[in-house]
Amino acid sequence: MAKRDYYQVLGVDRSASEAEIKKAFRRLARELHPDVNAHDADAEENFKEAAEAYEVLSDAERRRTYDRFGHEGLRSGGFQPGAGFGSFQDIFEALFGGDPFGSGFAHGPAAGADIAAIVEISLEDVLDDQQREITFEAVSVCDRCRGNGAEPGTPIETCDRCGGTGQLREVSRSIFGQVVRAMPCDRCGGEGRIPQTPCERCGGAGRITEMRTWEVEIPAGIEDGQRVRIAGAGHAGAAGARQGDLYVEVRITPDERFTRQGTELISSAQVQVTTAMLGGEVFVPTLEGEVAIAVPPGTQHGAVAVINRRGLPRLHGGRRGDQHVVFELVIPADLDEEQREAAERLAEALGHNHESRDSSTSPAESPRITPPG
C-alpha cells in the first residue's frame, strides 16, 4: 500500500508549527483510540499511521529530511517507522502522561460501563425543573459480600501471583522512552484476593445484576434529545474502580398545538373575518391554559401576535421566550339569504364589485378549488 503524505495524515499544512502538529496528533489519537472506536477495525491501523506521521514531523531533523526527500529519503537515512512502538497505551502514557481518557482507560481495575435510559416529558414539563424516577437494570456491588466475593465470615487469601496488588507490571520500551505498564492480574482478576468460599448470592463475582431506581433531575428549558448525565449511577466496575455513568435522554412528547424554536413557541389562532375587520378577541392555548388575546380592527391573514413570556425558559436560566400566534382568517361559507344580503350591502358600501363582469366576450374561467389542508 502506498504511504500517505504525513501532513495529510495529520491534517495539517506543511508550515504547521510544532504545537499544531502535536495538537493534531492528540486529537486524532483520541478519535482513533480503540476504547472510543471499538467498532472500527481500521482504527488501530489508522492510529499507527498517525503515530508514524507524528514520530517524523515532531522531530525537526526527520521532518527536514522528509520535507526534502519524502518517505524514500527517510528510509535510506535509516529511519524505521514504528520500530520503537509499544502498544497504544504505551504511546498514550508516554505522550500525554498517564490516563488520557479518565479512568475509563484500561489501567488497573476496569471502570463500570455506562447506562443509557430514556425519559419522556411533555412540553409543559419544560417550564420547570422536573424530577423523574427511572428504574433500570444495573450491575451493582453485591451487598452480601460487599463486593469481595467471599461468603461472610470465610477467609480470603491474598493472591500469590500479584502479591495482593491486583496488578502485574510490565516494563517495555517505546520511542518515547521506557514505559511501565500495569495489567490486571490474570489469577485474581485484578482483585488481589481470592475468596475460599464463594459468596452464595453472587457466586464469588462480587457483583450482581439488579433493578435500580434513580431520581433524575431534568432542568427546565431542556430540548428534545438532550441528555442528562448522572456520574456514578451506571454499572459497578471491578473492585476499587469507579462506577459507570447514567445517561438519560430526554424526549419531549410532540404537542400539535405548538411548534418549538428554542425558547419560542409558535401557534395559530382562527379569527372570523368579521372579527378581523371590526376587532375583537380570540382564545389561544398557552402552556398554562387558554388566554384571550385582542384582535385589532383590520387584522390581516397571517399577521402574528406576540404574547410576551409565554414561551419556554432558557436551559440555564435567563429570560423566558415568547409565544407567537399566527392569525388565520376564517371566511364563512354557505351563507343564508339574510347573510348574503348583508354581505352584498357591505360589498356595496366598500365599493367592491361582486357581480359577474360583462360576460359577452368570454365566460369566466371556473378553476378547481382545493380547500386549505
Look up cell 498517564; give the residue: 98
- Decide: is 187 part of the binding site for Zn ion (CB under 5 A): yes
- Going from the C-alpha of 66 to that of each of 9, 56, 59, 76, the distances in angstroms are 14, 8, 10, 11
Least distance in angstroms from the C-beta of 11 to Zn ion: 43
- Decide: is 236 part of the binding site for Zn ion (CB under 5 A): no
Nearest to 28 by CA among 51, 45, 7, 6: 51
Q: In this chain, which stretch among 113-121, 132-140, 160-168, 212-220 interacts with Zn ion, using CB under 5 A?
A: 160-168
- Decide: is 185 part of the binding site for Zn ion (CB under 5 A): yes
Decide the pairing of beta strands 289-295 and 304-307.
unpaired
- Decide: is 144 part of the binding site for Zn ion (CB under 5 A): yes
Cβ nearer to Zn ion, comparing 24 with 162: 162
Cβ nearer to Zn ion, comparing 167 with 174: 167
Least distance in angstroms from the C-beta of 182 to Zn ion: 12
Least distance in angstroms from the C-beta of 195 to Zn ion: 9
- Decide: is 150 part of the binding site for Zn ion (CB under 5 A): no
- Decide: is 325 part of the binding site for Zn ion (CB under 5 A): no
- Decide: is 26 part of the binding site for Zn ion (CB under 5 A): no
The set of residues, in sequence order, having a beta carbon less than 8 Å from that of 226 and lying 6+ positions away, is 249, 250
Binds Zn ion (CB under 5 A): choice among 26, 30, 161, 314: 161
Least distance in angstroms from the C-beta of 178 to Zn ion: 24
- Decide: is 233 part of the binding site for Zn ion (CB under 5 A): no
Q: How far apart are CA 13 and CA 188, in angstroms?
A: 50
Cβ nearer to Zn ion, comparing 198 with 285: 198
Least distance in angstroms from the C-beta of 137 to Zn ion: 18
Binds Zn ion (CB under 5 A): choice among 145, 222, 246, 284: 145
Number of shown-chain residues binding Zn ion (CB under 5 A): 12
Cβ nearer to Zn ion, comparing 188 with 282: 188
Least distance in angstroms from the C-beta of 4 to Zn ion: 43
Per-residue binding string, Zn ion, 190-209, x by CB under 5 A, is ---------x-xx-------
Binds Zn ion (CB under 5 A): choice among 43, 188, 238, 282: 188
Cβ nearer to Zn ion, comparing 86 with 189: 189
- What does the binding site for Zn ion look like in residue numbers (CB under 5 A)? 142, 144-145, 159, 161-162, 185, 187-188, 199, 201-202
